[in-house]
Amino acid sequence: MKAIAFTQHGLPIEDPNSLLDMDLPKPTPGPRDLLVEVKAISVNPVDTKIRAGSAATEPKVVGWDAVGVVRETGSDVTLFKAGDEVFYAGSIARPGSYSEFHLVDERIVGHKPKSLDNAHAAALPLTSITAWELLFDRLGVEEGGGEGDSLLIIGAGGGVGSILVQLARQLTKLTVIGTASRPETREWVESLGAHHVIDHSQPLVEQLNWIGVGQVSHVASLTHTDSYFTQLIEALKPQGQLALIDDPKSLDVVPMKRKALSLHWELMFTRSLYETPDMIAQHELLNRVADLIDQGVLKTTLGEHFGAINAENLRRAHAVIESGKAKGKIVLEGF
C-alpha cells in the first residue's frame, strides 16, 4: 500500500527526507480492529511533534485523523461492517493514517456524517474528541448548563478552538470568549459563534474588562499556556477552572492556590493508549458529533484543502502547522 512515513526524526520540514512516499505492507486486523481504506486525512500539531521528536528504527507513519470505508473487520467486531463509512482519530500507540489502509480499534470510531464529503469530515475527529472531552469531561460543564458562567478560549481559531467554540455556544449557556490576533482568524472565530473575540497579543484582563465580562469561570488554554499562565490566573474567578492541551516545559501552579483554582489536562489519546473501561465513549461522542453535523447544529472546521495525500503536500501542511498560522484544519484527500 502507499504510505507517507519518516525514517529519521528531527529533520526540518524543508528537508525532502523529512517525509517520504513509501510502499509498505497492508496490515491485517486484530480481533477488535477495522481495516479502513483511507479516503481523506487532516493534519494536527501532534503529527509534527511526533515527526520531530520520535525516533524511528523503521519507517514510521504518523497521522491521527481519517475518513474512509471499512474493508475488513476483526473476529470480535460488533459495531461496524464492511462497507461502512467511518471517521476517527486513531491511537498514538499504533501506526498513523498517512496510508492507503489503516487499522483502528472499533471502540474509537464513529459513523461519518452523512451530510459531509470525505474532505470536510476529515477535519473533525481529533479536534472534536479533544474539545468534547475538555469541555464536558475535564471542565465538567453540563450540556445545557453554564448559565451565568463564561469560557475563555486561548487560540480559538485553531483546530480544537474551532470546534470548541461551536460546542460551547451550541450545547451550553456559557458566554464564549475566543482569542485571535489576526483579522482573518478573528472573523473565523466570530463566524463560529463566539460572543466576543479578544486579541491574545494584548493584555487579556484589560480586554475582558473592556467587553464587560470581567473575570471568567473557565479557561481552555490551547496554545502557549506557559506564556499566558500568569494572565490566566488573574483572569479566572476564585474557584475557577483551567484546562490545557499543549506541552509547556514547566508550570508553577503554586499561584493558583490563593484562588483555589483547579487545573485539568486533556489528551484525547489517553482512553485508547490505556484501553480504559470507558474507551467506547469516543465511539459514542463521534456518532453524536456526526448527528449534530447532519442536523446543522455544528459545521465542519476545514480551513484549507492541500490536495492529494503525498509526501510533498504533507510537508507543505506540516510547515503551515509549525508556523502557528493555520486557520481551522488542513485536509488532504485521495492517493
Residue 56 has what pLDDT? 87
Span 74-103, mean pLDDT?
98
* pLDDT surpasses 80 at 319: yes
pLDDT digits (tens, 9 = 90+) for 203-233: 999 999 999 999 999 999 999 999 999 999 9
pLDDT digits (tens, 9 = 90+) for 276-304: 999 999 999 999 999 999 999 999 999 89
Q: What's the topology of domain 2-126+270-333?
A: Quinone Oxidoreductase; Chain A, domain 1 (3.90.180)
pLDDT digits (tens, 9 = 90+) for 12-51: 999 999 999 999 999 999 999 999 999 999 999 999 999 9
Q: Are 308 and 335 in contact (CB under 8 A)?
A: yes
* Number of other CB atoms surrounding residue 52 within 10 Å: 16
Given pLDDT bands bounded at 50, 70 and 90, which one contains residue 160?
very high
**According to the CATH classification, is domain 127-268 in 3.40.190.10?**
no
How far apart CA 192 and CA 233 sit, in angstroms, is 26
Residue 328 has what pLDDT? 81
- Where in the chain do CATH 3.40.50.720 domains reside? 127-268
Span 164-172, mean pLDDT?
98
* pLDDT surpasses 80 at 66: yes
pLDDT digits (tens, 9 = 90+) for 110-156: 999 999 999 999 999 999 999 999 999 999 999 999 999 999 999 99
How far apart CA 318 and CA 162 sit, in angstroms, is 19
Residue 262 has what pLDDT? 98
Residue 207 has what pLDDT? 98
Given pLDDT bands bounded at 50, 70 and 90, which one contains residue 329?
very high
Q: Nine-digit cell at 42?
A: 487532516
* pLDDT surpasses 90 at 55: no
* pLDDT surpasses 80 at 326: no
How far apart CA 289 and CA 24 sit, in angstroms, is 33
Q: Are 43 and 330 in contact (CB under 8 A)?
A: yes
Residue 258 has what pLDDT? 98
Mean pLDDT over the full length of the chain = 96
Through-space distance between the first and last CA atoms of the chain, rounded to whole angstroms? 10
DSSP code at position 6: B
Burial 7-29 (b: 16+ CB within 10 A, else e): eeeeeebeeeebbbebebeebeb
Nearest to 315 by CA among 56, 25, 59, 62: 62
How far apart CA 177 and CA 21 sit, in angstroms, is 42
Strand pairing category for 236-244 and 150-154: unpaired
Q: What is the pTM of this model?
A: 0.95
Residue 325 has what pLDDT? 79
- Where in the chain do CATH 3.90.180.10 domains reside? 2-126+270-333
Residue 219 has what pLDDT? 98
Residue that has been written with the C-alpha cell 488573574 in this structure: 234
* pLDDT surpasses 80 at 164: yes
How far apart CA 305 and CA 314 sit, in angstroms, is 11
Span 231-237, mean pLDDT?
98
Give the range among 128-142, 189-203, 314-328 with minimum mean pLDDT.
Answer: 314-328
* pLDDT surpasses 90 at 324: no
Nearest to 120 by CA among 85, 70, 76: 85
